[in-house]
Amino acid sequence: MKILKTKELSLLKRKRITAEIEHFKKPTIRKSEVLKSLAAELKTPEENISILHVYPHYGREKAKIIANVYEKKEDLERFEKINKRKKKGDKKEAAQKQEAPKPEEKKE
């Protein structure tokens, strides 16, 4: 991994890191692998790093990475909005909750 650029954003208590990673004869590297290698490179816990983008270079075995590195986990949780997709099982459970039988009303 090669760090290309580091920008200090003191107001947001983070650093914006731009790096380049090579993945010789492998598919585009996964975010989890990028997170581990970036944490090892910067000597920072993985929970303080937020990967924004992984841009693969077409025809080359390189990818450009943009990430935010926070000082504390609390800062990451405050500034980053984390959206995770729900699994199919979770959707089924939500659908079952909506279809749950309602108590019958008395008709007069």
Q: Whole-prediction pTM value? A: 0.69
Tell me the pLDDT of the chain averaged across its residues.
Answer: 82
82: left (phi over 0), alpha (psi -120 to 50) or beta: beta
Non-local (6+) Cβ contacts of 68 within 8 A are: 14, 15, 16, 17, 49, 50, 52, 76, 80
Query: In the predicted model, is pLDDT for residue 42 greater than 70?
Result: yes
Tell me the pLDDT tens digit for each residue of 58-69.
888 899 999 999
Query: In the predicted model, is pLDDT for residue 88 greater than 90?
Result: no
* Domain spans in the chain, listed from the N-terminal domain onward: 1-19+45-70
Query: In the predicted model, is pLDDT for residue 105 greater than 90?
Result: no
Q: Evaluate whether 35 touches 54 at the Cβ level (below 8 Å).
A: no
- Alpha-carbon torsion (73, 71, 21, 19), positive or negative: positive
